[in-house]
Amino acid sequence: MSLSAPAETFAAFADGARLLADVGGTNARFALETARGQFAAVQVLACADYPGLAEAVQAYLALPAVAAHGPVRHAAIAIANPIDGDQVRMTNHHWAFSIEALRQACGLATLCVVNDFTALARALPHLGADDKVQVGGGSPEPGQPIGLLGAGTGLGVSGLVPCGPHWSALKSEGGHVSFAPVNAEEVGLLQYAWTQYPHVSAERFLSGEGIGLIYRGLAAQRGMPDEGLAAPEISRRALDGSCALCADAIAVFCGMLGTVAGNLAVTLGAAGGVYIGGGIVPKLGDYFARSCFRARFEHKGRFGAYLARIPTFVITAEYPAFLGVSAILAEKLSTR
C-alpha cells in the first residue's frame, strides 16, 4: 500500500479528509484519508500516554499537520476488542468508552468503530504483491474463504467469506479458544500456565506476554534461571543467536502459531489462503520463514495434503488496517 502517491492522481473527498485509526493494546495508529486510498499525516501514539481514546483522538486532530487539512467530519476506528453495542471496554488496555460520547467529544458527524481484525480482514483483497510474503507452498483459490490471525498485544483472529461479488468479514474472538498442545513439551508449558491461569487460551501463548510465558515455562522445565526478559529482548537474543533458551522460546511460539493457523484453515475451509498479521511475526523476518511454522501448519494427519495446498502469507504492509477501515467507512457513507 502507498502512503505517498502523488496527490494529483486522486480526487479529494468533497466533504473533507477522513480520520482512520487502528487502536491496539499498546499503540494507536492514526491517519487522514484525503482521497480514496491516499493517506496522510500518519502518527503512532502510545496508548499509555493518554487517559482515554477521546484524548488520544483529540491530540491527533490538534497536530498542525492534521489541522491543516481542515475540520474532520467522518471517522472509522478499528480497535482490539469485540464491538457489541455502544459501550466498549478494551480487553488488553484500560480504556473504556461510549461510541456515541466519543463521536460527540471529537466533533464528528460519523463514527464507525469495528474490531481491528475485522478491519484487517477487509484489507486483505486490497494488499499488493509488495504488502505480503508467502511462507511455504500452496496457491490461493479465487472466491474461497480466507483466514486471518496475528499476534501482538493479544491474538487476533478473523476471516473473509465470499458473499456474491463481495466479502463478509467475520467478527471473531478466536484468540480466546482453549490452547491445545501437540507434543510433550507443550503439555508441560500448558501445565506451567495452569499454575497462573484457570483458563489458558491460545492468546496466553501467542502474544507479547505469551512469549514471556513460554520463556519462563521452558526455563522452569529445564531448571534454568529465568532472567525476567520481556518479549522484545527474547526476540532480539533469539535472532542474534546469543541465547539458546530465547531461541527455543521463539521456535515454540512459531510452532504453536502454525498449529493455530492450521486449525483456522480447516475450520474455515480457507482455500483462499491464511494471512498472518500482528506486530510480532513481521519483525521476525526470514527467521519465521525458516521456522517450524509451515510444518506445524500442515501437521494435521490425514488432512496434511489438504493443508499443503493452502498458502500462508505474512502481511508486511506497515499500516494495513487503514485499508480495511477506509472500505468500511466508505460503505457507511454510501448508504446515507
Q: Residue 39: which CATH number?
A: 3.30.420.40
**Domain presence at residue 215:** yes
Q: 240 with 285, same domain?
A: yes
Whether residues 101 and 165 share a domain: the answer is no
Residue 335 — φ and ψ, nearest 5°?
-90, 0
Mean pLDDT computed over 252-266: 98
Q: 95: which 3 cell numbers?
A: 480504556
In a domain, 152, yes or no: yes
Are residues 103 and 251 both part of a single domain? no
Whole-angstrom distance between the N-terminal and C-terminal Cα of the chain?
Answer: 28
Helices (H) and strands (E) in the chain, counts: 14, 13
2 domain-assigned:
no
Side chain identity, residue 56 = A
**Sign of the C-alpha dihedral, residues 204, 205, 207, 213?**
positive
Q: Do 104 and 61 reside in the same domain of the chain?
A: yes
Q: What mean pLDDT comes out for the span 155-172?
A: 90
Whether 194 is covered by a domain: the verdict is yes
Asked whether the predicted pLDDT for residue 61 surpasses 50, the reply is yes
85 and 202, same domain (yes or no): no
Please tell me the predicted confidence (pLDDT) of residue 21. 97
The residue type at 279 = G
pLDDT for 150 beyond 60: yes
Predicted pLDDT at 188: 98
Contacts of 140 (CB under 8 A, 6+ apart): 146, 271, 272, 273, 311
Phi and psi at residue 42, in whole multiples of 5°?
-70, 130
CATH code: domain of residue 190: 3.40.367.20
Residue 105 lies in a domain: yes
Residues 126, 327 contacting (CB under 8 angstroms): yes
Q: For residue 166, what pLDDT is reported?
A: 84
**Cβ atoms 155, 173 nearer than 8 A:** no
Residue 121 inside a domain? The answer is no
Which pLDDT score is estimated for 336?
58
Angle between helices 231-240 and 244-268 (to 10 degrees): 110
Q: If pLDDT is split at 50, 70 and 90, which confidence band does 4 have?
A: very low
Q: Which domain holds residue 17?
A: 7-116+319-334
> Contact at 8 Å (CB) between 255 and 236?
no
Question: Is 253 in the same domain as 208?
Answer: yes
| Structural domain contains residue 1 | no
Considering the domain architecture, whether residues 108 and 63 belong to the same structural domain is answered as yes
Based on the domain organization, do 159 and 21 belong to the same domain? no
Report d(CA 16, CA 269) in Å as an integer.
41
Q: How many residues does the chain have?
A: 336
Q: What are 206-219's pLDDT values in tens digits?
A: 999 999 999 999 99
Q: Check whether residue 111 and residue 220 sit in a common domain.
A: no
Is the confidence at residue 94, as pLDDT, over 50? Answer: yes
From the list 148, 161, 168, the residue with the least C-alpha distance to 260 is 148
The pLDDT tens digits of the residues spanning 234-243 come to 999 999 999 9
pLDDT of residue 75: 98
**Sheet containing 146-151: order of strands:** 132-135, 312-315, 274-277, 146-151, 155-163, 166-169
Tell me if 17 sits within 8 A of 33, measured CB to CB: yes
d(CA 140, CA 144): 8
Question: Total domain count for the chain?
Answer: 2
**Domain match, 207 and 232 both:** yes
* 122 belongs to a structural domain: no
Do 311 and 323 fall into the same domain?
Answer: no
User: In this model, does residue 173 exceed pLDDT 90?
Assistant: no
Q: Are residues 133 and 20 in the same domain?
A: no
Which amino acid does the sequence have at 153? T
How far is the C-alpha of 23 from the C-alpha of 53, rounded, in Å? 9
pLDDT of residue 6: 39
pTM, to two decimals: 0.86
